[in-house]
Chains A and B, each alone.
Chain A
Amino acid sequence: MSWTRSTQINAADHSRRNFVLRMLAATGTVLLAGCDAASRSSWLPKVLGVAEDASRGAQRLASPRRAMAQEFTLADLSPQFRSNGTANPDDSHYQALAARQFVDWRLKVDGLVQHPLQLSLQELRAMPKRAQITRHDCVEGWSAIGQWTGVPLSTILRMAGARPEARYVVFHCADPMDEAGTRYYESIDFDDAFHPQTILAYELNGRVLPIANGAPLRVRIERQLGYKMAKYIMRIELVASLAHIGAGNGGYWEDQGYEWYAGI
């Protein structure tokens, strides 16, 4: 077998090498500028958004509709459950409700239902409850583990009776998100709405749900990311389409470019 030393590479190859490297660097710079420009275009996010549908389809194939999120033990509880986003809604009506421990608060259930409801916290607490120790995965990347107690959303939806054309459950919240006073909103489909672990939680770690974590009521949707799990819920609305909710993408963060299906 014969060999040549790399140090013997001739001058021509050397200049070719420099040329190739410079070409690569230039191409990279141009491509990156292009990627950034494309990110701000109207078409690219739509193209990339194809992946959201693909992920939703594939994840539903890979796990049964009723697949349960992992549950943990008390030993896994995070010492303090991180509060993210709104920690205390800057809203006078909400603050008045909070000042009286939410005794005047009512959960409204309306939209495409047979029987619109108005439920007090006391009534919710009197219903059959579910407690679960689950992991909360934020879109930012962190996870925290907490014990949640509340009423299964399915119980409320069966009480209200969904009309046949209803397809989504929308949560309208108390927390203002911007100067214009847009309040937080989120939505899920019936697969998640009727999932056994989807609960309207009023307790965290065995204590009354703190304001920082969404008092008086927040929803747990354990197989999706944290931003789906609306806090400070005031009203639950059943709708046939999300087109008229906010800018039409189904949620406050969805209207800022995040995926509606947040299973990954």
Chain B
Amino acid sequence: MTGPSSPHSYYRHSLPVRIMHWINFLALAILLMSGLQIFNAYPVLNWGRSSYSDTPPLLVLAHGFPSWITLPGGRWLAMGRRWHLFFAWIFVINGLAYVIYAIASRHLHRDLTPTRNDWRSIGHSVSDHLRLRHPTGAAARRYNVLQKLTYLFVIFGLLPFVVLMGWALSPRLDAAIPGWVDLFGGRQSARTLHFIAAWALVAFLLVHVFEVLVSGVYNNLRSMITGRYVVDKEHADQRR
């Protein structure tokens, strides 16, 4: 294995990012599974302000989600809510800490903001992704443009949105500015959007894990645990 002083390995993820990444993963996993437990108490999705109107439901899952994917395993709404609302706090605090850190440490600017070159290489990056080609050598040290845009969309779009739609389900927070929930179609629409956003995050996770697998699972996992990332030696040599 390449040692820490090797020219071909470098320090990719800082300790705070690694810690916050795994806290985020744990919190989202628990939020998803406890969320499905809560969903099962009313396994229907409606659009609009209420569930009982002239509008038919968008989705009815007669038996709800199976117990192997819910937390706790059996039907237990009270405990599902406790898990969900506790880890919602963990998730929000961790997310805020990450954003503050990413700005203050310039991680956001340095690693996640697309450069002018990135924008020009977008077409190239799409075709590389479709052909499962991955950068090696110096190019592997940076995130590619699709990767950057996806991370930015998830961090500043999807994750805040899922939180906002969670808040929309709170009758007390709805009263903070009466009517704000109507911007999203009403409370039952917000519940549906909360559900859709959660599955969009699952879709992101699947693509994320897929990319990790096809671009070197061991190297990627190690870099998110120890920080060390090894750049392909052979190809790195070719560049010289």
**Chain A interfacial positions (CB closer than 8 Å to B):** 1-7, 9, 13, 16-17, 20-21, 32, 35-36, 39, 45, 47-52, 54-55, 59, 62-63, 67-72, 76, 78-82, 135, 137-145, 222-225, 253, 256-259, 263-264
Contact B136 A139 (CB under 8 A): no
Interface size class of B (residues with CB under 8 A): 35 or more
Check if B133 sits within 8 Å of A223, measured CB to CB. Answer: no
Measured CB to CB, the closest approach of chain B to A7, in angstroms, equals 8
Which A residues touch B76, using CB under 8 A?
39
Is B62's CB within 8 Å of the partner chain A?
no
- Known contacts: A20-B218, A264-B85. The answer to whether A3 contacts B133 by CB under 8 A is yes
Using a Cβ cutoff of 8 Å, how many contacts connect chains A and B? Answer: 186
Which of A6, A35, A48, A138 lies in contact with B214, CB distance below 8 A?
Answer: A6
Which residues of B (4-23) have their CB < 8 Å from a CB of A?
none
Nearest 10 A/B pairs, CB to CB: A263-B172, A257-B78, A141-B42, A78-B52, A63-B176, A264-B170, A142-B51, A140-B41, A48-B82, A51-B86
In the assembled complex, B71 has its CB within 8 A of some CB on chain A: yes
By beta carbon, the residue of chain A nearest B221 is A20
Specify which of B71, B173, B187 is in contact with A263 (CB 8 Å cutoff): B173
Interface set, chain B 58-97, CB cutoff 8 A to A: 71-73, 76-79, 81-83, 85-86, 88-89
Taken together as a complex, chains A and B put the C-alpha atoms of A135 and B175 apart, in Å, by 11
Say whether B171 faces chain A, with CB atoms less than 8 Å apart: yes
List B150-197 residues whose CB lies under 8 Å from chain A: 167, 169-176, 178-179, 181-182, 187-188, 191
Q: Judging by beta carbons under 8 Å apart, are B169 and A70 in contact?
A: no
Judging by beta carbons under 8 Å apart, are A263 and B82 in contact?
Answer: no
Say whether, besides A3-B135, A6-B132, A258-B78, A81 and B71 are in contact (CB < 8 Å).
no
Asked if B174 and A2 sit within 8 Å, CB to CB, the answer is no
- The interface residues of chain B lying within 8 Å CB-to-CB of A49 are 82, 86
Contacts of B82 in A (CB 8 A): 45, 48-49, 51, 257, 259
In the complex, whether B106 has a CB less than 8 A from a CB of chain A is no
Give the shortest distance, in Å, between B53 (CB) and chain A (any CB).
Answer: 6
- Find chain B residues with CB under 8 A from A135 CB: 49-50, 171, 187
Residue in A47, A143, A256 whose beta carbon sits within 8 Å of that of B50 in the complex: A143
CB-based nearest B residue for A72: B49
CA distance A230 to B102 in the complex (A): 48
Contact A142 B170 (CB under 8 A): no
B198 adjacent to chain A (CB < 8 Å): no
Cβ of B120 under 8 Å from chain A:
no
A-B contact pairs, 18 of them (CB 8 A): A4-B235, A6-B134, A7-B132, A9-B214, A20-B221, A52-B85, A54-B89, A55-B85, A63-B172, A67-B178, A81-B52, A135-B187, A141-B42, A142-B46, A145-B52, A145-B53, A223-B175, A257-B78
- In the complex, the chain A residue whose C-beta lies closest to that of B54 is A79
Whether B2 is near chain A, meaning CB under 8 Å from some CB there, is: no
Q: A39-B76, A78-B52, A264-B173 are in contact. Are A140 and B42 (CB under 8 A)?
A: yes
Q: Specify which chain A residues have a CB less than 8 angstroms from the CB of B132 in the assembled complex.
A: 5-7
A70 near B221: Cβ-Cβ < 8 Å: no
Interface centre among A6, A139, A143 (most CB of B within 10 A): A143
Whether A9 and B135, one on each chain, are in contact in the complex, defined by CB atoms closer than 8 angstroms, is no
Q: Which of B78-131 contact A (CB under 8 A)?
A: 78-79, 81-83, 85-86, 88-89, 128
A55, B173: Cα distance in complex, Å: 10
State the CA gap A21–B213 with chains docked (Å). 10
Cross-chain contact A78 with B86 (CB below 8 angstroms): no
Identity of the chain A residue whose Cβ is nearest the Cβ of B83 in the assembled complex: A48
Contact A143–B188 (Cβ < 8 Å): yes
Nearest chain B CB to A256 CB, angstrom units: 6
Q: Do A79 and B52 form a contact, CB below 8 Å, given A4-B136, A55-B85, A63-B175? A: yes
Task: Tell me which of A81, A143, A224, A257 contacts B79 (CB under 8 A).
Answer: A257
Contacts of A36 in B (CB 8 A): 71-73
**Please, which residues of chain B bring their CB within 8 A of the CB of A4?**
133-134, 136, 232, 235
Whether A39 contacts B136 by the Cβ 8 Å rule is: no
CB pair B81 A259 closer than 8 Å: yes
B56 contacts A by Cβ under 8 Å: no
Contact status B50-A263, CB under 8 Å:
no
Instruction: State how many angstroms separate the Cβ of A42 from the closest Cβ of chain B.
Output: 13
Whose C-beta in chain B lies nearest to the C-beta of A143? B50
